[in-house]
Structure 1
C-alpha cells in the first residue's frame, strides 16, 4: 500500500513540476510580480523631456526629490530628472497601461534605476500614492503672450497639453493583455490535463 501512495505522490509531483516549467516557459522566465520602473528614453531630446517632465510634475508626480535640495537632484540633467518624474507619475498611477509613454519620451525598465541615496519607488505604496483617482485635473499654464516671458515649472520647458500618458487603443500588446492571460493559463492547464489522461 505504501508503494502505490508513493507512486501517486510522484505522479502528482511530476505533474506540478511540468506545470511550473510550462509557466516558466510561457512567461519567459519573468516573475509574475517583477518590479518595473518608468525612465526617460536616451534618444529623447532635452526639450521634449522637459515638456513631458513638467506635465508629470503638474499631474501628480512627486518632484520634490529632483529639486535643488532633494536627494535625486544630482546629476542635474534633464534626462535624470525626467526619469525620476516619469517614474513617480507611473507608480502613482499604479503602473497603468499608457502611464509610461509621455509622447514617446519614456519607456518601462525592469532594472532598478536607483542610485546612491536616490531611491526610485517601484510600487504605488512606495511612491506615496493611494489607489483612489484624483478628483482634480492639473492646471495648464496659458500660452506666453507675445514679447513676454514665462518661467517654466521645472527647468527650461513648459506645460504642453498632449504630453500626458497615451490612452491605449484596442491593439493591446502589453504583458497584461487578455490574450497573454489566456495563453498563460490555458497552455499549462491543457498540458496538465493531457498528462493526467496519459499517466
Structure 2
C-alpha cells in the first residue's frame, strides 16, 4: 500500500486527469464534421467562412489529398475540422451556424487525414487577411432598431435572442472547476 502521505497526492492526480478528460483537453481526440442534415447552401456558406477564417483548405483543391469525394459534405467536414483544431478545440469553434457537430471517431479516409490536434493542423492560426465573408454564426440584421435598444424598446432590446447558439460546454467546465477546487480543499484538510 502507498505511504499515507502519497494517498492524497494520488487522489489529486486522479481528479486532475479525470477533469481534463471531461473537459476534452485530455487524451480523447475529437473532430468537427458537417452535420448530415445541413443544407448544401448552409454548408457552402460555412465552408467559405472556415476557409477564409484560418482553416487549411489546400487539401480540398483539385490536386489535394482530400479533394475526392468532391462533395460539399466532405469538403465542409475537412474545413470545419481544420478550423476547429487550429482553434485548439475551443468551445463554440465547431458550430458554423448549427451545420457542424463533434465526432469522436476519426473521419479520415484513404490518404485524406483529418488532423486531431492544433499541432497536426498547423498550430493555432490567426488569419492574416480579413475573411471574405461574414461569420455564418451571426445572422445578418434586416432591422434598423439599435442593438442596445432605443425608442420605446427598453434597455438591451428585450425579447431579442442571442445571435450565437450556445454549443459550448461552459456549464460542465464550471462544474468541473468547482469540483476540482472542492476536492483539492478536502485533500489539504486531510493532509493537515
Q: TM-score, normalised by structure 2?
A: 0.68
Cα 1:45/1:125, change in 2 over 3 Å: same
1:71-150 pair list within 5 angstroms = 71-130=65-124, 133-140=126-133
For 1:99 and 1:165, the matched residues in 2 are separated by: 13
| Contact 1:38-1:106 at 8 Å conserved across structures | yes
Q: 1:174 aligns with which of 157, 170, 173?
A: 170
Alignment RMSD (CA, Å): 3.4
Distance 1:40 1:19, change over 3 A: same
User: Are 1:37 and 2:10 counterparts?
Assistant: no
| Cα deviation digits, residues 142-197 of structure 1 (max 9, x gap) | xxxxxxxxxxxxxxxxxxx34158986999633784x2453253132123124325
Taking the aligned partners of 2:135 and 2:63, their CA distance within structure 1 comes to 30
CA contact (8 A) 1:101 1:165 kept: no
After superposition, where does 1:4-43 map in structure 2 within 5 Å? Answer: 10-23=3-16, 26=19, 32-34=25-27, 35-43=29-37
| C-alpha distance in structure 2 between counterparts of 1:49 and 1:94, whole Å | 22
Q: Deviations 1:67-90 (Å, cap 9, x if unpaired)? A: 232211223322111110111122
Unaligned runs of 5+ in 2: 140-162
- Larger Rg belongs to: 1
